[in-house]
Amino acid sequence: MSAETLYGLCAAALVGLGLFGSIVDPQPLRKILAFNLLGGGVFLLFGVIARRGAAAGMAADPVPQAMVITGIVVAFSATALAVTLLLRLFETTGQATLRTGAPARPDPDSDRAGS
Amino acid sequence: MPPAVTLASAATAGGFLLVLAIILPAAGVLLALAFGRHAERIALLLMPAGFAIAIAILADVWHSQASLVAVMGGWAPPLGIALRADGLSAMMLVTTALVICAVGLFARGDFGMPAGGGEARAPLVFWTMLMGVWSALNAIWLGRDLFNLYVALELLTFSAVPLVCLDGRAETLAAALRYLLFALVGSVLYLLGVALFYGAYGTLDIGLLAGRVRAEPVVWVSAALMTAGLLAKTALFPLHLWLPPAHAGAPAAASAVLSALVVKGSFFLAVRLWFDVLPGLPGVPAAQALGTLGAAAIIFGSVLALRQERLKLLIAYSTIAQIGYLFLLFPLSTGAAAAGIWGSVAWTGGVYQLVSHAIAKAAMFMAAGLIGEALGHDRIAGLGGIGRALPMTIFAFGLGGMSLMGLPPSGGFVAKLMLLTASVTEGQWWWAVVILLGGLLAAAYVFRVLAPALAGADEPLRLCARVSRRREAVVLALAVGALLLGLLPLRPSELLQIGRPAAPTAIMR
Amino acid sequence: MSTGFALDAGLVLDAGLAALVLAVAVGAIVAGTAFAAVVGFVTYGLLLALVWVRLAAVDVALTEAAIGSGVTGAVLIAAAARLRPAEARSAAERPGVPLRLAAAVLSALVAAGLAMLVLLPSAPAPSLGPAAAVHLPELAIGNPVTAVLLAYRAIDTLLEKIVLLLALLGVWSLAPDRFWGGAPGQPHAAQQDGALALLARLLPPVGIVVGVYILWVGAVAPGGAFQGGAILAAMWILVMIAGLRDAPATGGRRVRLLLVVGPAVFLAVGLAGFVVADGFLAYPASYAKPLIIAIEVVLTLSIAVILGLLASGPPGRERQR
Amino acid sequence: MRQVLDIFTVAAVSAGALFFLVGTVGLLRFPDPLTRLHALTKADNLGLGLVVLGLLPQAEGFLAGVKLVAVWLLAQLAGATVTQLVARAVRRGGPPA
Amino acid sequence: MTGAEALLAVSLATPLAMLAACLSPRLRARMPGLLAIAPVPALAAAFLSPGAGVALPPALLGLTLALDMPGAILLGTAALLWIIAGIYAAASLRGQANGGRFAAWWLLTLAGSLGVFITADLVSFYLVFAMVSLAAYGLVVDDGTPRARRAGGVYVSLAVLGEAFLLMGFVLLAAATPGSSLLIHDAVAALPASPWRGSTLLLLILGFGLKVGLVPGHVWMPLAYSAAPAPAAAVLSGAAVKAGVIGLIRFLPFGAALPDWGGALAAAGLVSAFYGVAVGITQANPKTVLAYSSVSQMGLITAVLGMGLAGGNAGAVLGASLYAAHHILVKGALFLAVGVVQAGGARRLWPVLLPAAMLALSLAGLPLTGGALAKLAVKAPLGDGIVGQFATWSAAGSTLLMLHFLARLAAAAAPAIQGPVPARIVLPWLAAALASVAIPWALFLTAGSGTLSEALAPATLWAAIWPVLAGGVLAIGLRRWGRWLPRLPEGDVVVLAEGATGAARASGEALERADVLLRQWPVAGVVLLALAVILGAAMLAGH
């Protein structure tokens, strides 16, 4: 077994783990965390593919690597936005949950944020 | 390995238009951020230009009867990235421009900058995100590279989420968070598929991939993951958890964009994936599975719409139902049928539904916004007599409803007619039953709104705000557009065939 | 390649690293508290950076350590601390056993599908490496990853900058109206004599040098705008946390210009390509390297400011005029 | 000469590793945060210091040696700061469980 | 485009143009007074344009217009009724606040009602058919009472259901038509050879059957006609309902003999013919009685067409058109009579009742009236067999029902109304009554379906008069023992259907619960992964 295969299997396991965590964990923050973990697994898969594509004197295919860099930045942006949303939700309602019951009832005289 | 650079993607003369279609709104984002107090002006100035570009692309595609191609930086795929406008892209570009411009005109009332000349939160965010949505959508319609499309998809999500919770109420915050998280899981699944495709075939260019894919496990796994991820972003039943609160909670102008356009972005990518990247490969059972979900969405969304007490929730659930129609396209133009003319009838019908629903739904959400503004609430039970107070708005709502029901001569009628025809001629009559039933249910929920609105009020109507005639006119114009769409059924279906497969493999090899 | 039972030291290291990554990941998922989970996640990110080095992706390793683990970790830790009062309540909403079981089985199925594909590699593995290498001399760039990011797939990078900016605006949009344009968060109490303040005084000079070095070296060796920008951002965040410098007002003209200058220059150079080269984002033959470096410099600035502000959260104070 | 240096390297790195081991055991076994910090700093300071010291003769050139020392110094700085911060947090109201 | 062709286009464009003018509030307020103008071009077209055909450019939906003989007969009489009812409506709407709204609905219904007689391609036919079906809703609910709203709800539900059947039927027709022609003529010609002949016919009959009120699709008629104002009820029962008749005429393949389908259609028609009478005599409201009479009469027309289909006899079409033309005018005039009686009260009852009686018995086929001629026209298609026998007996039923109507009309007159009945109301009604006698004679003689001597032959007269006498005897019996009859609610079986809404509501609630469950995050997450796995498995299975 080569190192790439090893890390490839590791990536597959991380993806499974991240999916499980983001579905099952009730806390939104830990869903976000699991999503990042999941993203790590996907990026690792890119890395394995890049390494397998080593050619022309390069230790790895640079194209997937560049994609991972882009992907990491996008994932961070998503995390920052999601965390801020969550914190704001917590400030507004005093709880941090994604649970829903019936569709939200209208409150006719709710005002705009903070105004 | 094939040679790195193929002749396939040589740029066409009009290629710069494709770049501009994406870059112009993106530049709008930058300008709006830099000069916050002028965000509205910047957006409104860019709108005619963007609209003109979309029209120019359409004209160019129609005139040349061939796709427009632009190669970024002169680096041809697979190393570089190309953009391509086929007939379908051109049609989506124009639809997007139309809806965005209408929403822009409509939103001037809601999101004007404060009188003092300073910068305010909601207007800046709204106008900037609107530009972001536009740029992202154009990138999606034109993209030819699966990873580039991933970035566009994320751009779309990131512009759409803040629009949901623009008013900062707790329930819209929760809705936005659910939307964001579910959409993110969807994007990761999509990205996973992208990785697998690259690992197997060494390119992400749609045209090159189409020539290289074979029926093998990697294709099935990645196609399944990508499709599932895109379905999550499209909110196809039963993955609709985020849509009703998000679309119903957002400000009307934002809801219009979200419901009319944003969910279509990921659907469009699913279409690209199945018909352009993997022509014929996903196979009949998978297409039937997607069709089944679509059918379930039609019934489920319509019944739920019928049972809502709030107008905007009703419209949101109707979006779930209407998304269902789109997915009938898959079983009706896959497999044996794909070769025949009827496959393209179903295909055209599906795309027609895409466009007509976009226009009709935007008009309906904006009409609901005006109604809510005038009444101070959007409870359906309290709509009595609103027809007399806002005749243009209710008329617009009714016209949009006609398209949802599939009454002639609306665009929705043509779409459903084509889907029905395809399902009959292919012997898949079960879809026809669902389409008809969906039409009946749509009539019922539209009627539920129109009946009290057109009847007299039990007590004199008390309006809490005056609604500007100009905004009513914008909504009505859009609704009339949805109606008139049915009057030109022949030419667009020819347009949609430009750059269709049969072509790609032949050209690429 | 596996050669019988002959132990390959590198492979042992890889196996250990992979096992460690997995163990830490499991720990982060099952951890008892959110805080512990975040700490686990940061560790996971650092270990992942090591994996990237093992996979000959030093650029990615730098990015992962700086952004994937570093800044993300900071954001998550701060959130975990603030959300602690709600933790017990939301943790009690754990789904029932059947759902958990179903989720576990399906996640495992997806992972198994991926594992199967990993074990059935297509031979020979396709690669764009040769194609990327062929054109490097034209660009006079030594680092192929930089070439991909700023030339071959520059449009991705450009759009992704817009993504970053929109994410930042999205974060800001969550502020109450009255704080619009104000500085993010509460001011951190300055502890002039504190250990943190000491660190914040000693580290940034070093960090800034390293950041600029990484940016500069990106043209020929691992490094580049993201990595450099992330390090600069980290220094800035450290200074803000230590209370030595307050965060700037988000509505300030200078901040706004810094935010957009990178993408704007990128865009402008790209558009100039229509005129001076053959199309959007094309560089004229002999000016490729200086243009790319110029773009990288302004991008680094913008990225540092965007990342720093993203980590600081939405405006939380009224704007002083 | 080369051999002597190699032996020195092996000895110093081994000693460093021992400190890491001891520190880890302490981290796991000690009862409260402050004593755990104590154990950690041993690994940080002495362990890393010995490893760096041991590796110095193996460095390829002067610049690499400087880099190694810089790594140690930075780790010292970070370790000291973080230890201070954690300890203060503990004194103020207890750490996260 | 010749003048005749232009006239066809103008007859459809005039009401639509007036409708567009309604967008202006000022013009809308004046519109009720102008309603009678809208159908005038159509009336002219009926005389001048038979045989003309015109295809408008594709930009206008590829609208194709054509006028054949049955179309011309129905178009002319329907237009006449619309003119008369328009004058009547202008008078009764005078001074009412919502007159403009009523006028808008009226014009839309009018455009559809006349349009169905002249459109020649599938898409435009569907469009105008939907117009007349759906716009009538606005006329039904005009007074805004809960009763009217219920009627409107039932009506529009069934109308939309009918639309759905027709849409599917049209799709099947178009799919079976060789080439890309969408002309009704071509589609119907290809129908006998269509692979989906059975389904197509069934869908068409269901769709048009709902419109003509074939039992049990008749339930909307009593509700809607009794709720609508008199002029609206007149045009709905007289003109609008003929959209279903022209639909059957245009779309059934009379060129091919289909004994099974024709027989079944004839049987369904006869069932309606007798069912309408049987339920009608239990009703108290004169408008409801008239509505059930419509059920019965439309059933008879359907039976005629069914026999025509069974025998491949295209001649049935002309007979059915004549019969329908007579029904347009008579039924319109009778509904207007109800309005006149309500306006005039009991003191001026007899001057109204006598002409009304003549009209009513005309419907039953009293000799020398238009009804006798109508019956004569359909005699041949109905044949001498069992269907013909039943049809003859149905005339006795009609007599019974009409005498019951006259009794209820007299009883409904309010005693307290003072003052003269406005001439604006009486004159249109009298015109309608007159037309209902004169027009059938004119048509009978010009359309060449019979001669004067034939119509006045003693055998013919006797054949027409004995069912009326038998009906009279039955009516005496009804008067005597009528109180023993059960009082059926308006719309009879609709009550059962409304009972079934409970079940629908329960299933809706179940879906709502499913929605709440599916929108739980973990459930949605599991579903997402399951979908990915299923799609993967399905793709695997596809190869």
DSSP string, E454-482: HHH-HHHHHHHHHHHHHHHHHHHHHHHHG
- C145, A65 contact by CB (below 8 A): yes
Nearest to A82 among B181, B192, B249 (CB): B181
D45: confidence class by pLDDT, cuts 50, 70, 90: confident
3-state secondary structure of E253: coil
Best of A30, A67, A85 to disrupt the C interface (most C CBs within 10 Å) is A30
Mean pLDDT of E62-87: 88
In sequence order, the 6+-apart residues with CB closer than 8 A to the CB of E94 are: E32
**pLDDT for position E450:** 66
The values of phi and psi at residue C49, to 5°, are -60, -40
Is the backbone peptide bond immediately before A106 cis, with ω within 30 degrees of 0? no
Report the C-alpha gap between C1 and C14 in whole angstroms. 13
Q: What is the pLDDT of residues B382-408, one digit of tens each?
A: 888 788 788 889 999 999 999 998 887
**E119 DSSP β-pair partners:** E65
Task: Give chains near D: 3+ CB pairs under 8 A.
Answer: C
Q: What is the pLDDT of chain E when averaged over all its residues? A: 85
pLDDT at B113 over 80: no
Do residues C234 and C305 make contact, with C-beta atoms less than 8 angstroms apart?
no
Q: Can you give the residue ranges of every domain in chain A?
A: 3-93
Percent of chain B at pLDDT exceeding 70: 92
* Cβ-based neighbours of D93, under 8 Å, separated by 6 or more: none
At residue E119, φ and ψ (nearest 5 deg) are -80, 145
Q: Is residue E26 packed enough to be buried (19+ CB in 10 Å), middle (13-18) or exposed (0-12)?
A: exposed
Interface of C with B in 54-93 (CB under 8 A): none
Instruction: Give the mean pLDDT of chain B.
Output: 87
Residue B288 CA to residue B343 CA, distance in Å, equals 14
A105 pLDDT above the threshold of 50: no
Task: Provide the token pair at C210.
Answer: 């390293």
Q: Which has the minimum average pLDDT: B179-193, D40-54, E517-531?
A: D40-54
Would you state the pLDDT for residue B366?
94
Nearest C-alpha in C relative to E537:
C113
For C34, which residue in chain D has the nearest alpha carbon?
D96
Helix axes of C9-30 and C34-54: crossing angle, nearest 10 degrees: 160
The minimum CA-CA distance between A58 and chain B, rounded to whole Å, is: 16
Give the whole-angstrom CA distance, residue B222 versus residue B219: 5
Q: Give the number of residues written for chain B.
A: 509
State chain A's mean pLDDT as an integer.
83
Judged by a CB distance cut-off of 8 A, whether residue E61 touches chain B is yes
Instruction: Give me the pLDDT at residue E62, please.
Output: 65
Residue of A4, A87, A100 for testing the chain B interface, max B β-carbons within 10 Å: A100
CA distance to partner chain E, nearest, from residue A24 (Å): 6
Distance of alpha carbon E396 from alpha carbon C231, whole angstroms: 100
Option in A35, A82, A112 nearest B167 (CB): A112
Residue of E116, E126, E528, E529 to mutate, interface with B, max B Cβ within 10 Å:
E528
CB-based contact (8 Å) between A22 and chain C?
no
Pick from E35, E74, E81: nearest CA to E432: E81
* ipTM exceeding cut-off 0.95 for this assembly: no
Domains contained in chain D, number: 1
**What confidence tier does E56 reach under pLDDT thresholds 50, 70, 90?**
low
CA dist C252 and C246 (Å) reads 13
**Judged by CB atoms within 8 Å, which residues 100-129 of E form the interface with B?**
123, 126-127
Between CA C50 and CA C134, with CA C145 as vertex, the angle to 5 degrees is 135
Residues sharing a CB contact under 8 Å with residue E351, sequence separation 6 or more, in sequence order: none
- Report the gap between the CA of C283 and the closest CA in chain B (Å): 7
CA distance C90 to A29: 10
- ∠ CA E488-E491-E495 to the nearest 5 degrees? 80
Query: CB contact, 8 Å: B248 with chain A?
Result: yes
- Gap from A73 CA to chain C (nearest CA, Å): 7
Q: What is the 3-state secondary structure (H, E, C) of B245-277?
A: HHHHHCCHHHHHHHHHHHHHHHHHHHHHHHHHH
Please check whether residue B253 touches A, CB under 8 A. no
Q: How far is A105 from chain C (nearest CA, A)?
A: 22
Across B324-329, average pLDDT: 93
Structure token pair of residue B184: 């993110």
**Chain B residues whose beta carbon lies within 8 Å of the beta carbon of residue C167:** 158
Q: Is B412 on the interface with C (CB under 8 A)?
A: no
Q: Is A103 within 8 Å of B313 (Cβ atoms)?
A: yes
Q: What is the CA radius of gyration of chain C?
A: 23
Q: Which of residues 58-77 of A touch C (CB under 8 A)?
A: 58-63, 65-70, 72-77
- Residue of A22, A24, A100 lying closest to E519 (CB–CB): A100
Tokens in use for D2? 């080369």
Distance from the Cα of B474 to chain A's closest Cα (Å) equals 25
At B501, is the pLDDT very low, low, confident or very high (cuts 50, 70, 90)?
low
Which residue has 């594992």 as its token pair?
Answer: C115
CA distance A66 to chain E (A): 27
**Closest by Cβ to A112, choosing from B151, B168, B310:** B168
Please indicate whether, in this complex, the C-beta atoms of E526 and C110 are within 8 angstroms of each other: no
State the helix-helix crossing angle for B311-327 and B283-306, rounded to 10 degrees. 160
Q: B407 and E134 in contact by Cβ < 8 A?
A: yes
> B305 pLDDT exceeds 90?
yes
* Residue B281 reports pLDDT greater than 90: no
Structural domain including D12 reads: 2-93
Is E521 in the A-facing interface, judged by CB distances under 8 Å?
Answer: yes
| C-alpha distance from residue E440 to each of B296, E74, E363, E371, E463 (Å) | 54, 11, 12, 8, 18
Q: Which amino acid is at B276?
A: D
Q: CA of B383 to nearest chain A CA: how many angstroms apart?
A: 14
Where are the domains positioned within chain C?
1-93, 128-321
Q: Are A47 and C51 within 8 A, CB to CB? A: yes
> Which of A23, A101, A102 shows the shortest C-beta gap to E522?
A23
**C99 lies within 8 A of chain A by CB:** yes
How far is the alpha carbon of C312 from chain D, nearest alpha carbon, in Å?
A: 20
Interface probe, candidates A23, A31, A38, A98, chain E, greatest E C-beta count within 10 A: A23
Return the SS3 of B314. Answer: helix
Residue E104's Cα: distance from chain center in Å? 20
Residues of chain C with pLDDT under 70: 1-7, 121-122, 187-193, 321
* Model pLDDT, residue B26: 95
Fold of A3-93: Helix Hairpins (1.10.287)
Percentages helix, strand, coil for chain A (3-state, rounded to 5) are 70, 0, 30
From the CA of C108, how many Å to the nearest CA of chain B? Answer: 14
Hey, what amino acid is at D86? V
CA–CA separation, B162 and B158 (whole Å) = 7
Q: Give residues 386 to 415 of B whose Cβ lies within 8 Å of E.
A: 405-409
E66 DSSP assignment: E
Identity of the amino acid at C238: L
Judged by 3 or more CB pairs under 8 A, whether A touches D is: no
Using CB atoms, pick whichever of E175, E536, E541 lies closest to residue B425.
E175
Segment among A13-22, E101-110, E501-510 with least mean pLDDT: E501-510
Q: Is C41 helix (H, G, I), strand (E, B) or coil?
A: helix
Residues 505-524 of E with CB under 8 A from C: 520, 522-523
Q: Which residue of B has its CA nearest to A71?
A: B151
Q: Judge whether B354 and B263 are in contact, CB under 8 Å.
A: no
Is residue E124 scored above 70 in pLDDT?
A: yes
Inter-chain touch E526–C109, beta carbons under 8 Å: no
Phi, psi of B465 (to 5 degrees): -150, 150
- For tokens 């629903």, the residue is B357
Q: Which of C32, C36, C199 sits opposite D77 (nearest CB)?
A: C199
CA torsion angle E151 E156 E159 E160 (round to 10): -150
Q: How many CB pairs under 8 A join A and E?
A: 18
Rounded (10°) angle between helices B429-454 and E146-176: 150
pLDDT in tens, B29-40: 999 999 888 888
Q: Which residues pair with E66 in a beta bridge?
A: E53
The predicted pLDDT at position E418 comes to 62
Q: What is the pLDDT of residues E414-471, one digit of tens each?
A: 676 666 667 777 888 888 888 888 888 888 777 666 677 777 778 777 877 888 888 8
Q: Which of B151, B244, B248 lies at the smallest CB-CB distance from A70?
A: B151
Which chain C residue shows the shortest CA-CA distance from B150? C156
Beta strands in E42-188, from DSSP E residues, in sequence order: 53-55, 64-66
Q: Do B178 and E521 touch (CB under 8 A)?
A: yes
Q: How far apart are CA C261 and CA C297, in angstroms?
A: 10
Q: What is the pLDDT of residues B80-107, one digit of tens each?
A: 999 999 888 999 999 999 999 999 999 9
pLDDT tens column, E185-243: 888 888 888 888 888 999 999 999 999 988 888 888 888 988 888 889 999 998 889 99
Q: Say yes or no for a CB contact (<8 Å) between C55 and A47.
A: yes
Q: Under DSSP, is residue E52 helix (H, G, I), strand (E, B) or coil?
A: coil
Cβ pair C44:A37 closer than 8 A: yes
Measured between CA atoms, how close is E161 to chain B, in angstroms?
7
Asked if D81's CB is within 8 angstroms of C198's CB, the reply is yes
E36: left (phi over 0), alpha (psi -120 to 50) or beta: alpha
Distance from CA of C103 to the nearest CA of E (A): 5
Beta bridge partners of C83: none
